[in-house]
Amino acid sequence: MKQFCDQDCLLKFYCQQNEPIMVTQKGPENTSMGSGFDEIWLGGDSEAIVVLETGEGFDIVNDLQLGATTFQVESKDNLSFVDSINGAKIFQGDDLLAVVSWQSANTFSDNQDSIFTVIS
């Protein structure tokens, strides 16, 4: 069973993980979860950077906030997007990087330059 934090709980979490902007009481968030098979819950008004890496596994991303969420990828070459029953699938070549719940492939193909940045 998932448990959700209230605002005070989230601020404590941000203090441990990221330096919050105390005036706005928001992120920024930088989410690099490891080698795939992670489930990420976004939301709220804070900006989030989600690192999508090629290799084993893929991430499940929930509650994408268009304009507030950025995906970092190794390269913008060979990115493709496919609709599925679980949401939009993001591929780099044949490698499934993520499934983004409640989104369509068109969201990513139409906004590719504003959603994706390259890992430096």
Q: What is the pTM of this model?
A: 0.70
Mean pLDDT, range 50-77, rounded to an integer: 90
Type and span of the H or E element at 60:
strand 59-62
Q: Is residue 9 part of a domain?
A: no
Q: 87 lies in a domain? A: yes
∠ CA 45-18-115, nearest 5°, is 50
- Mean pLDDT computed over 31-56: 74
Domain housing 96: 29-118
> Using an 8 Å Cβ cutoff, are 71 and 54 in contact?
no
Q: How many CB atoms lie within 10 A of CB 71?
A: 23
101 beta partners: none
Q: The tokens of 27 are what?
A: 């992120």
- Between 95 and 57, the more confident residue is 95
Strand order in the sheet with 59-62: 39-41, 59-62, 95-100, 87-92, 79-84
Residue 10, in any domain of the structure? no
> Within a domain: residue 11?
no
Q: Is residue 2 part of a domain?
A: no
Which residues, in sequence order, are CB contacts of 22 under 8 Å at separation 6+? Answer: none
Which phi and psi angles does 63 have, rounded to 5°? 65, 50
Residue 15 lies in a domain: no
Rounded to an integer, the average pLDDT of 66-78 is: 92
Q: Is residue 23 part of a domain?
A: no
Domains contained in the chain, number: 1
Instruction: With respect to residue 98, please indicate whether it lies within any of the assigned structural domains.
Output: yes
